Chains A and B, each alone.
Chain A
Amino acid sequence: MRWNRALREAGVLGINARNARFIARYNPRRLFPLVDDKLRCKELCREHGIPTPELYGVVEAHGDLRRLGDFLAGHEEFVIKPARGAMGNGVLVIAGREGEFYRKASGVLLDERAVRHYVSGILSGLYSLSGTADRAMIEYRIKRHPLFEPISVGGVPDLRVIVFKGVPVLAMVRLPTRKSDGRANLHQGAIAAGIDIATGTTTHAVQSSRLVEDHPDTGARVIGIRIPHWEEILRIAALTHDMTGLGYIGVDVVLDAELGPMLLEANARPGLAIQIANFQGLLHPLEQIERVDTRRLSVEERIELARRLRSPAPAPVEPAPAREAVTG
């Protein structure tokens, strides 16, 4: 079939190949809890010196709900989320207080009882995919970096870096739109902008698999944006591999206006849409990295390797037919 060959030549990674060739081979099952449980992940990050949003408190059980007020005391803004939530489900963002009440990012006011009920839902596993009991985390609310101000609506954009054997391979930034209801969720209509690993500049942007150049709500250009702290973001992504031992991961990094890049979470089954955002397949770089023993390389050497992969002459063993992005 011709389309089949065309996809293979373009180096597009399909779901079956991702699962069988990369996840099954490079992600040992026993390591999954390290990333599926955000609290364990945070703990590991502290040990490895990777910055994460500050943890204000953890509600472990319904008995702790009485102490919720103590955890929240002194924090104007915060985020409550389940430790094992998936795809950003169950995240409650409190943007401020008004007297007795907590103000959600949308402006809706909640009293303490409502917040407690919400946390109780998290504890019962309302948002954990397996439906098992969960814990609720209360943490620092990321402040949107001024650079992202004109190109996102609602929530905070996040950066996704695919890291294979410690080498960053592809990256994108997910920009919330009105259509995606302020969430950085691609299939709800957030914009995905591919980032050139070497320069940290956005190259293409797609919304629902359609090429866009401007943010549909603000009109600001979304390509050609130079992501600040790019070197540090790549470092965090590469370190996350060392920290978790997972060979094939998607690392989600957020950029705080004051504190810089922070690891939000890592995903052991990262999605494939990043290929569309970059208009570049994952398969060729993955196959090249597969032939390199990266265990002896330092973080800096791996990032250097990542840069060379993206450069026009990556000296591959078999020349990959590089397809230029067609614009228009």
Chain B
Amino acid sequence: MTPRLFAVAGALVLSAVGLILYKVLALGYEPWPQPAPDRWSVQIEIPLKLHADESEIAFFLPADGPTQRIYDERVDAAGMSFFIRPRGPNRIGMALGRPEDGDRLTYQFSVRTRPQPVDPLPEVIPAISEDERKHFSDLLASTPTIQSESEVVAALLEELAVDPSNRAAALRQIHEFLVKDVETTDGREGPQDAASVLRAERGGSLGKARAAVALLRAVGIPARVVAGVRLVDSGRGELVHWVEARLDGRFWPLDPLGGALGFLAEERLQLHVGDGPAVEARGAEAGYRISMLRERETQYQIYRRRVSNSDRLLDKLSLYSLPVQAQLVYRLLLLVPLGALVVAIFRNLIGVPTFGTFGPILLALALRETGILWGLLLLGVVVVFGWLGRQILDRARLLMVPRLSFLLTLVILIIAGVMVVAENLGLHRAVTTAAFPIVILTMTIERLAIAMQEEGPENTAKLVLGTLLVAITGYWVIANDQLQHFVFTFPEVHLVTLALLLVLGRYTGYRLSEWARFRAFHRDGLQRAG
């Protein structure tokens, strides 16, 4: 009996390992989620310090462009009216209203980047024509911060011997000058307008970009400052500025801080065109923080694409071939057996008592939805109030089914009450707790009350702690994203789960708890009372 059982278990493990190895080695599945190379989730946060009752906040929103596509935009305008308006080539988000001091606007979006074109700049581009000058007058004008008609610009161009009749060469010269001859600073040492930077021959990202644009405009190259952030894994973004020069029918990017002409050194998100500030506020002082995260979720989409294009049987049998809604369900469901395994280990190997067999796992699933701290808090409140209600109910001596139904109603009302209170306290997270396992909670409260009467507070405390221990461990397993990815990609891993359960089911050794229960047999005999 037992050797055969071990043979079956071994066969299950071997087939699982074989299938997983085949999928990894031959079909190229990734065991762990890989970062999506081109997708980022970005958040702009604008904390507000109020000066007046009524505030108006305007900030740039990124737009689609040749190297980026923006999607999944979400905004939390702190209760202000929010709308989006075009302004020149940019989009701006406007928030109007009466926020409270310390409120913050958040704007989140996802961006998918595309590779920059790497065409070489033509060797010769003739001087600017009259038509071009008219058409791009905005990109050629002198402004208070980009003084393309100032003396320092003219003097520099003469010193560098820039020839406006070949604008391709002029562009290269100006780029080289800014990269090599103008010192890069953090931009806090002084005024950052073009003339000041050129005079001092040092400046920050914005100052150097303005200086470059001033020089370019002076030789008849339409140019503009662009603001954005580097997309890097460090998470916290810092505004950087660079330049776009309009030549030969397209914009050529150049970074005056370094890098090749026509190509930016790293992936960037373009936020807006122009050298103005990223956020303008009236009636308030507005901060500006930007942060980003590579999206990992999209591994599912990558597999999904791959599976839908494949003729291989194993690809077709993959869970990635399910509709997305069903995938979301199965991603979670497939973790439940692991939770059940946790229960089996705790019950049969360790001997931890729990309320109900799978109650702790359903609690763990609920904790996953709510987050562990908030979930445990909610659980505590519901159980304590439910139990108090049950105590009062006990005097009425109701029959079982009406009693349980009464308790169920009570639990739902308590949860609803907690939600309303939490919402009013500003804990928005609470409201997503609809999936809390109401029936399990009801049965737990009922069992708790019975245990208190039949087994006394000490044993009941053991049951409560045991249930919590298993639920929290189960949560830790179920809430693990890496594990979720692994199990969803390789559901055959549950053959191993089955094998473990088979072996566990035939475990006839002692439970850890029996170490304490029967300590008289392995210590120095029975201890005298008193």
* Cβ-based interface call for A121 (8 A): yes
Q: Check if A305 is an interface residue, CB within 8 A of chain B.
A: no
Please tell me if the beta carbons of B527 and A211 are within 8 angstroms of each other in the complex: yes
167-190 of chain A: CB within 8 A of chain B: 187-188
Question: Chain B interface (Cβ within 8 Å of chain A)?
Answer: 348, 351, 397, 399-401, 454-456, 459, 505-511, 514-515, 517-522, 524-530
Say if the beta carbon of A124 comes within 8 Å of chain B: yes
Contacting residue for A212 out of B348, B401, B529, CB 8 A: B529
**From B399, B509, B519, B530, contact of A121 by CB (8 A):** B399
Ranked 8 nearest A-B pairs via Cβ: A326-B525, A6-B522, A210-B529, A17-B508, A211-B526, A124-B399, A10-B521, A14-B510
| Partner pick for B509 among A16, A208, A210, CB 8 A cutoff | A16
Which segment of A150-158, A275-283, A291-299 sits at the interface? A275-283
Residue of B whose beta carbon sits closest to that of A20: B508
Q: Which residue of A lies closest to B516 (CB)?
A: A209
A10, B351: Cβ atoms under 8 Å? Answer: no
Contact of A14 among B511, B519, B526, B529 (CB under 8 A): B511
Least CB distance from A292 to B in Å reads 21
Q: Identify B399's interface contact among A6, A8, A126, A212, CB under 8 A.
A: A126
Expressed in whole angstroms, the Cα–Cα distance for A325 and B456 within the complex equals 30
Q: Determine if A113 is an interface residue (Cβ-Cβ < 8 Å).
A: no
A117 vs B529: C-alpha distance when bound (angstroms):
42
Q: B528: which A residues are within 8 A, CB to CB? A: 210-212, 328
The answer to whether B526 touches A204 (Cβ under 8 A) is yes
Q: Are A12 and B510 in contact (CB under 8 A)?
A: yes
Cβ contact within 8 Å between A281 and B529: no
Docked complex Cα distance between A328 and B520 (Å): 11
Interface contacts beyond A87-B454, A208-B529, A210-B529: sample of 20 additional A-B pairs, CB < 8 Å, sorted by A: A6-B521, A7-B515, A12-B510, A16-B511, A20-B505, A20-B506, A20-B508, A121-B397, A124-B400, A126-B399, A126-B400, A187-B459, A209-B517, A210-B530, A211-B526, A211-B528, A212-B529, A276-B526, A279-B526, A327-B525
| Most chain B beta carbons < 10 A, residue from A16, A17, A126, A326 | A16
Does A166 sit within 8 A of B, measured CB to CB? Answer: no
Q: With A17-B509, A126-B400 known to touch, is A326 a contact of B521 (CB < 8 Å)?
A: no
Give Cα A8–Cα B401 distance, bound, in whole angstroms: 45
Complex CA–CA separation, A125 to B351 (angstroms): 29
Task: State the Cβ distance, A46 to closest chain B Cβ, in Å.
Answer: 31
Query: In this assembly, does A253 line the interface, its C-beta being within 8 Å of a C-beta of chain B?
Result: no
- Residues of B with C-beta under 8 A to A276: 517-518, 520, 526
Contact of B525 among A7, A187, A325 (CB under 8 A): A325
Q: Is the CB of A7 within 8 A of B399?
A: no
How many Å lie between the Cα of A14 and that of B349 in the bound state? 11
| A-B residue pairs in contact (CB < 8 Å), sample of 9 | A14-B508, A17-B508, A20-B508, A89-B454, A187-B456, A212-B529, A276-B520, A281-B521, A325-B526
**Nearest CB in chain A: distance from B459 CB, A:** 7
Specify which chain A residues have a CB less than 8 angstroms from the CB of B518 in the assembled complex: 7, 10, 12, 275-276
A120 touches B (CB below 8 Å): yes
Per-residue contact bits, chain A 176-220, to B (CB 8 Å; 1 contact, 0 not): 000000000001100000000000000010111111100010000
Chain A interface (Cβ < 8 Å from any Cβ of B): 2-4, 6-8, 10, 12, 14-17, 20-21, 87, 89, 117, 120-121, 124-126, 131, 187-188, 204, 206-212, 216, 272, 275-276, 279, 281, 323, 325-328
Say which residue of A12, A121, A208, A326 sits within 8 Å of B514 (CB atoms): A12
Give CA–CA (A72, B530) in the complex, Å. 45
B526–A7 CB distance below 8 A: no
Which chain B positions have C-beta within 8 A of A272? 517
A207 close to B399 (CB less than 8 A): no
A26 to chain B, nearest CB (A): 14
Bound: A327/B25 CA distance, A:
65
- Smallest distance from the beta carbon of B458 to chain A beta carbons, Å? 9
Say yes or no: A188-B455 contact (C-beta < 8 A), given A14-B514, A21-B508, A275-B518.
yes
Residue A7 contacts which of B397, B506, B508, B522 (CB distance < 8 angstroms)?
A: B522
Cα distance, A118 to B517, chains bound together (Å): 37
Cβ B526 vs Cβ A210 within 8 A: yes
B404's nearest neighbour on chain A, judged by CB, is A131
Contacts of B520 in A (CB 8 A): 209, 276, 279
Complex: chain B residue closest to A216, CB-CB = B529
Contact A16–B510 (Cβ < 8 Å):
yes
Given known contacts A276-B518, A281-B521, A326-B524, A15 and B351 CB-to-CB distance under 8 angstroms: yes
Chain B residue at smallest Cβ distance from A180:
B456
Interchain CA distance A212-B526 in the complex, whole Å = 10
Task: Tell me the complex Cα distance, A272–B351, Å.
Answer: 14
Please measure, in the bound complex, the distance between the C-alpha atom of A120 and the C-alpha atom of B521, giving whole angstroms.
46
Instruction: Please give, as numbers and ranges, the residues of chain A lying within 8 Å of B506 by CB-CB distance.
Output: 20
List residues of chain A with CB within 8 A of the CB of B527.
Answer: 209-211
Point out which of B351, B459, B514 has the most chain A C-beta atoms below 10 A from its C-beta.
Answer: B514
Check B514–A7 contact: CB distance below 8 A: yes
Q: How far is the CA of A131 from the CA of B456 in the complex (A)?
A: 21
Closest to B454 in A: A89
- Cα A275 to Cα B526 with chains together (Å): 11
With A and B bound together, what is the CA distance between A124 and B397 in angstroms? 12
Tell me which residues across on chain A come within 8 A of B459, comparing CB atoms.
187
- B515 / chain A contacts, CB cutoff of 8 Å: 3-4, 7
A4 touches B509 (CB 8 A): yes
Cβ-defined contact, A12 with B521, below 8 A: yes
Q: How far is the CB of A176 from chain B (nearest CB, A)?
A: 15
Query: Does the CB pair B514–A187 fall under 8 Å?
Result: no
C-alpha spacing A74/B506, complex, angstroms: 54
Question: How close is A52's CB to chain B, nearest CB, in angstroms?
Answer: 25
A279-B400 Cα distance, complex, nearest whole Å: 41
With A120-B399, A124-B399, A124-B401 as contacts: A14 and B522 at CB distance below 8 Å: no
Closest chain B residue to A212, Cβ basis: B529
- Chain B nearest CB from A15 CB (Å) reads 6
Give the shortest distance, in Å, between A155 (CB) and chain B (any CB): 15
Q: Are A15 and B400 in contact (CB under 8 A)?
A: no
Are the CB atoms of A4 and B510 closer together than 8 Å?
A: yes
Residues in A with CB closer than 8 Å to B510 are 4, 7-8, 12, 14, 16-17
Q: Say whether B526 contacts A326, CB under 8 Å.
A: yes
Taking the nearest CB of chain B, how far is it from the CB of A133, in angstroms?
10
Q: In the complex the two chains form, what is the Cα distance from A185 to B530 in whole Å?
A: 20
Nearest CB in chain B: distance from A306 CB, A: 22
Name the distance in Å between B405's Cβ and chain A's nearest Cβ. 13
Complex Cα distance, B275 from A327, in Å, reads 91
In Å, the complex CA distance between A326 and B524 comes to: 7
Contacts of A131 in B (CB 8 A): 400
Cα-based distance from A216 to B528 in the complex (angstroms): 13
Interface centre among B506, B519, B524, B526 (most CB of A within 10 A): B526
Determine whether the beta carbon of A10 is less than 8 Å from that of B524: no
With a cutoff of 8 Å between Cβ atoms, the chain B residues found around residue A89 in the complex are 454
B-side contacts of A209, CB under 8 Å: 517, 520, 526-527
Contacts of A212 in B (CB 8 A): 528-529
Judging by beta carbons under 8 Å apart, are A10 and B522 in contact? yes
B456 / chain A contacts, CB cutoff of 8 Å: 187-188
Nearest chain B residue, comparing its CB with the CB of A89: B454
